[in-house]
Structure 1
Amino acid sequence: MCEETAGDAAGRPVAYTIDGQGPAVVLLHAIGLDRSVWDPYRERLAAGHTVLAVDLPGHGGSAPLDDVELSAMAASVAAVLRHAGVAAAQVVGVSMGGMVAQLLAVAEPELVSALVLCATACTFPDAARAALRERGRAARETGMAGVTETTIERWFSPEGRTGSVAGQVRALLARQDPGYFAACWDAISRLDVAAGLAALDLPVLVFTGDADISLPPDAAETLARTGRDTTTVTVAGGWHLGAYEHPEPYRDAIEAFLATLPTHPSGTALG
């Protein structure tokens, strides 16, 4: 595994790791986290793929954006692909990472050969947008200490909240700047990429968890029926961050999905 840093259009550093060889797979994390949450996936996928796990701007080792927009995050991921010499990638995203993945595919479709979207949305009803902005307001008013446990309760099952993955997520959230965290929620509340996603002609795998209380059910349903070539997997007992809490069913389905895709000369072999 190699630690790398790309520069975005403004010269800000975007940190990522690259591992393996073969068709490229990009992994994009949820709000407030970093690429380390993908460790249970990275080694398995790297057996047959070039795996790039990216810290989105303002997370992990990547510099924050001056004006936080999901489209700017997507541009940062594009900069990573170009820095790594990747022609096109299969992009996997959870929650906010899935939104960034969609925006990347719409803005630069030549860079994306397939999408895997976990616990995410392509648009929201107005009531949900207000609720998302409220999450940002709470972070600004109380700091990360005031919102971390309510976030964990939305994201993990009751038993999962005491596990090691939730502990890792708590630690990552504690390191986040509350103002930037809030700005990310505001950016999420503005998401509307449904029309752009519907116009794409690429395979899409959508995961929904039937216990996900963080994502409005109608938002998940809209995403599932928007893409032209969409396969939907409903994970029984899956909470919002089920892909991290219980990676096995997600990882197995992702590997099976990737195995069906045409071989694309998109990977970068590591010597």
Structure 2
Amino acid sequence: MTTFQSNDVSLVYEEFGEGEPLVLLHGLTGNRHMFDQDVQVLKKYFRTIVLDARGHGDSDKPSSYTLNDHVGDVLNLLDHLEIEETYLIGVSMGSYIAQGVAIASPERVKKLVLVATKSEGKTSSMEALFEKYADELKGLTFSQKVLKVSPYMFHDLTAVGQWSKEAAEKGTPLTVEQITAANKALEGFDFTQDLYRVTAKTLVISGDHDELNPTELGRETARLIPITTFVEFKQSGHAPNVEQHLLFLDFVLEFLDVK
């Protein structure tokens, strides 16, 4: 792994393969190892770059930060690597960061893939899910609540559980305080008035079993971006890239014009 400085925060990234650059952005409380399986394929065609977001994985964990900080970190990484234009894939939180990058510097994103996404976070997806199933969650801790609502978030719990376990074992575990800071960074974002600025051809993928970021939120995001294809995976929840991994790779490789 390699580190670079982004506004006095040390961030960890790794590179695999050669060719045009492709940056992968992971979800909330995750790390770069969430993409280990994807990297094995993508590195055959692209200079594939995975980043531990600030507050996550092996990167520094400030006590507070914002979504704008995440966006700035990706742009600083591109500067650090002297990349003028990149393909960009973001999953869940990573998709919010990717939207921010494509809005702030549209000329730097060649194509954009948004997975399990939404275009605004005026209310927390997880808190909304907790509220929906409040009667089932009374008296539980945060971790217990997350476990309890997992069947409403994912379709293939076995695949997601194994994937999450493997990624967690390779990364640095987060404390309760670090998880709280990571969640707070996403409070109140709203890209709905700015997505028209995105010039990159975009692929939006949602899972029809995802109650965290339901498909209608993915459709709305797609509607707001000028050049977009929306795809709904029928056997996936909040992790289409894991729950239907081969289908996900097929769509992504075709979208990125891999021959």
C-alpha change, 1:132 and 1:193, in structure 2 (3 Å) is farther
Q: Distance in 1 between matches of 2:166 and 2:201?
A: 32
Match of 1:258 in 2: 256
**Are residues 43 and 257 of structure 1, via their aligned partners in 2, closer, same or farther at CA, if it must alter by over 3 Å?**
same
SS at match of 2:186: helix
Aligned residues: 253
What secondary structure, in the 3-state scheme, does the structure 2 residue paired with 1:188 have? coil
Shift of 1:222: 1.2
Identify the range of structure 1 (80-89 vs 118-127) with the bigger mean alpha-carbon deviation: 118-127
- Pairing 1:33–2:48 present: no
C-alpha separation in 2, matches of 1:152 and 1:133 = 11
Unaligned runs of 5+ in 1: 262-271
Aligned-partner Cα distance in 1 for 2:34–2:63:
25
- Partner-residue secondary structure (3-state), 1:149: helix
User: Are residue 123 (structure 1) and residue 157 (structure 2) matched?
Assistant: no
Partner of 1:83: 80
Q: Deviations over 1:113-145 (max 9, x none)?
A: 2210000111156585962797xxx9xx946x4
Q: Does 1:243 align with 2:238?
A: no
Partner of 1:203: 201
Aligned pairs (5 A) from 1:108-257 = 108-124=105-121, 131=128, 142=141, 145-150=143-148, 152-157=150-155, 159-160=157-158, 163-168=161-166, 175-257=173-255
State the secondary structure of the residue aligned to 2:84: coil
2:61 maps to which residue?
Answer: 64
Task: Show structure 1 runs of 4+ deviating over 6 A.
Answer: none
Match of 2:134 in 1: none
- 1:5 maps to a residue whose letter is T
CA shift, 1:68, in A, is: 2.1
2-structure distance, mates of 1:198, 1:260: 27
Matched AA of 2:58? G
Question: How far off is 1:172 after superposition?
Answer: 7.5
Report the CA distance between 1:77 and its aligned residue.
1.4
Where does structure 2 lack aligned partners over 5 or more consecutive residues?
A: 132-136
Q: CA deviation at 1:180?
A: 2.4
Structure 1, residues 73-117: CA drift from partner, whole Å, max 9, x if none? Answer: 111111221222211111100000000111111122232222100
1:47 aligns with 2:36: no
Q: 1:72, 1:27 → 2: CA distance? A: 17
Does the 8 Å contact 2:122/2:188 carry over to 1? no
Question: Residue type matched to 1:38 in 2?
Answer: F
TM-score between the two structures when normalised by the length of structure 1: 0.82
Is the Cα–Cα contact under 8 Å of residues 160 and 245 in structure 1 kept in the other structure?
no
Question: 1:80/1:132 Cα in 2 relative to 1: closer, same or farther (>3 Å)?
Answer: farther
Change (3 A) 1:208 1:258: same
Relative to structure 1, the CA distance from residue 156 to residue 216 in structure 2 (aligned partners, 3 Å threshold; closer, same or farther) is: closer
Larger deviation, residues 201-210 vs 66-75: 66-75
Matched residue SS, 1:117:
strand
In 2, Cα distance between equivalents of 1:222 and 1:171:
35
**Residues 175-229 of structure 1 deviation map (CA, whole Å, 9 limit, x = unaligned):** 2222222233233231201222122221010001111111144322211211100
